[in-house]
Structure 1
């Protein structure tokens, strides 16, 4: 039986472009409509093609594609083409040349007006050419003012008439060249639906500024880190609180501290492990009220190095939490802070480096963050095996430049990982003396 994944965000959010807070996935229904609409566009612009003449003879012998009826015995191909006409109506407009091939009241040629058509009742139907002066170079404004509304007359007066004898032609308004393309059709349909549908309430206080989203995706970070930040902003992390809301967890209690509700803020900032990690690297760090605002506030910081370190600190806190939940590895704030600083300092971690993602990565040499003040610093860590009650510890001393000055590693028998780290510090003090 295939397991179902948890949909953390709605498909509409994922289909939004990255610059608007989504992931840029294609909406397959709209994309398929754009593909079929391309064939409908060919029916309009290439009426003399063999297949177009065949369709005309079968389904609209006395009309055109844009006014044809579906019919009760239509084939699957014709039904698809007919449905695509709804999409074509959004972007198909008529450019006036001589005006002899365009109906004044039903063809979409009055561009700024909603629907691009004249709504005033006209009897009998007439061509656009009939509303021009005799020379065909100017509009007959007296006639237009008598039969059209003031708004329509004003719009028509500003429409440029083509050169003498130039034919009327169809153009696609979503493309600056006037040619139909699946890409512009897809985005045109999507933007239209976005305007028609009611916007969802912004319950996450997400920014409306596209530049902030572009900043996020342009960061010089591995794709997985940028995606993690997007999940933080979109509240798409698998915390106990979010799992409980989706009926995937019996409670909301944090598994690390067993005290408070595991919300994203608690998991990444307020939990005992997260709080100690932040205090190690950034003693003056302030706990934010909103993760999305905190992440986007990094954009305003002048020091890009500090910004990068904070992002990797956030990432390693989340990794340490997951290692504890899924593997039972007790996290260490010191180890987490060292990993965060080390990864942030790796120069080859760029989103465009093929060696970073396609080849096995070499384990970098150990480097520790320099102290914030000119003094020596002790780093220690320990791992504990519950079954054997055996622990392994490692401890190093760095100078004011962050260079390793001394260190020691060993195995001991103890009762907890905290005891292992405490004994490692005692041994390190012995080394220092």
Structure 2
């Protein structure tokens, strides 16, 4: 996250990510600090300038970095932690874990060292038996990943079935695969083996289904909320009361209040992320909508960007009282709890939204089930696939109309 005003384009901090600027760019003296790469009128990156100075891979990485508005300073993040903060304890822990790596042989049970008492703690967890068995298998390298199948004499291609980049070990299947990394970054849970990831991997391998990290991360979030058995907090700026339940279907907003549903659609093999905002009134009528493709580093960043666009839309339209609905538990929690650590991937966007909220009259943030966010979801998916016509608000496609009518009927 950065404002770009204190970071030189020649510094190791920036060049370590981006590589080097072209000599042509430097000779003109037009690019000295990172802020020179911004489009200040749009409060975003200067797309043409970045793409002209860097190769496509580097440009994509740069364009995915969230930009903070003026008033925020550049900050460095420790990407091994969700909050981006480095400490000596965490650095030492990382080094110890790296040193504990051992070479696999016939007697080894995993590529990482685990204390002998760990399996005792695993079986003592108060969780479902099938989850307990899964954790035990993950810890002791007993999952049927491709490497273990080969050891059992099955002639099989060892490459990961999802990313096709590395040998499918347990670590690759649960942590290192690009698809899995996307799930972890967009999920509110800590960095631990999760049964939902393994189930998604099996669907891809056995049923040849298309992987969708955003769907899996949302399943994890809803599972965690059910396990906690606590109603989610719903607060707002100023005088909006807290919600008492977790909506699983779309509901009509109060008279005179606009409801803004926001969502994102993201794929590993697509350079851009699609975000959508759907505005409906107390009669369930579609009043306006936003659908666009943006650069985002992960699904979580896309969810935050979609909510930011909802706030910008309200400001542009002069709307002072409205409701924002999201199905991202992480983004929602960051907005309603100012004291909670925020994932570094969305820190800049969250800071900007927190800055904007007090300028409105009444803003109510609400976390909903994905079923209550279906219109924004389908619009984002169509936008990502380039199947959304330019005049979709006037001549609305049948796929969107079906969800609009369904929501209206259920809400009445």
Query: Normalization by structure 1: what TM-score?
Result: 0.32
Query: Normalization by structure 2: what TM-score?
Result: 0.33
Decide which structure has the larger Cα Rg and report it.
1
